[in-house]
Amino acid sequence: MTTSPFALVADLRDDKPQYVLPLVVRLEKTEPPARTDALETSARAVLTVLDDPRATGDGEWAQAMEDWQDARIRKVVRRARGAEWRKAQTLPGITVRGRHGAEVRVYPPIPLDGWPKELAKLQVSGTDLDDPEPPPPADLTAPVLWLNPRLDMSAGKTMAQTGHAAQLAWWELGDADRAAWRDSGFALSVRTASAERWAELLRSGLPVVRDAGFTEIAPGSCTVIADHPALRRS
């Protein structure tokens, strides 16, 4: 069995050059996105770049994607508004829009210490958002990314974690299930599990994100479980 790059286990990945997948969320002062919409859009952005032709085969981003996935799978979410957001749009990447107006731009991986100037100045800490109204119950016929109810993470940190969960699910799916997810526009929802559901999910065998502990939470914390219908055990 291959060890997940998200797992907190010392191996050869730690000795390789480290890369990061940058994500930038648009965060205007007057119209910030709802938290759940931003979390879902971040996850969909990760799936979109994984599936992009430029990221596979002989694509222009393929080598960067390979180098990134050969080492630890790191994602960093920064925020931008106004002129900063417009500058961020000039770099090669993909902007993904949420169902309720959230916007997240994802870029091909870069060296951990190689941020382009347009992104290097953007804030990384303190990104937090609220939901104006509680989100409706999740559609269990579609993928659900369940958040650990016992962890308190900023919106930026949680956006990275939902991206990790979506990626774990993508890796475990076969071609037909990937195609179906693609055709749905990478439909998914993000919800916080109840304590009882979380305990059940931990026993389910579904993909679990275990954080490396670089920021906010303790190393090895289980943050998100990717509940894709195609991965549920019958």
CA 49 – CA 105 distance, rounded (Å): 10
Q: In the structure encoding, which two tokens stand for residue 78, read together?
A: 């920064």
- Burial code of 77-88, b = ≥16 C-beta within 10 A, e = fewer? bbbbbeebbebb
Each residue of 57-75: pLDDT tens digit? Answer: 999 999 999 999 987 889 9
pLDDT band, residue 163 (cuts 50/70/90): very high
Q: What is the enclosing helix (H) or strand (E) of 144?
A: strand 144-147
Cα-Cα end-to-end distance for the chain: 22
Strands (E) in 32-130, as ranges, are 74-80, 94-97, 103-106, 110-111
**234: pLDDT strictly greater than 60:** no
CA 137 – CA 225 distance, rounded (Å): 17
Q: How many CA atoms lie within 13 A of 61 on its CB side?
A: 21
Length of the chain measured in residues: 234
Question: Contact at 8 Å (CB) between 100 and 26?
Answer: no
Q: For residue 153, give Cα distances in angstroms to 39, 79, 156, 223.
A: 12, 16, 8, 9
**2: pLDDT strictly greater than 50:** no
pTM: 0.91
CA 215 – CA 199 distance, rounded (Å): 24
- Kindly report the CA angle at 159 between 153 and 165, in degrees rounded to 5? 100
Each residue of 199-222: pLDDT tens digit? Answer: 999 999 999 999 877 778 888 899
- What is the three-class DSSP state of 117? helix
Q: In the structure encoding, which two tokens stand for residue 11, read together?
A: 């191996």
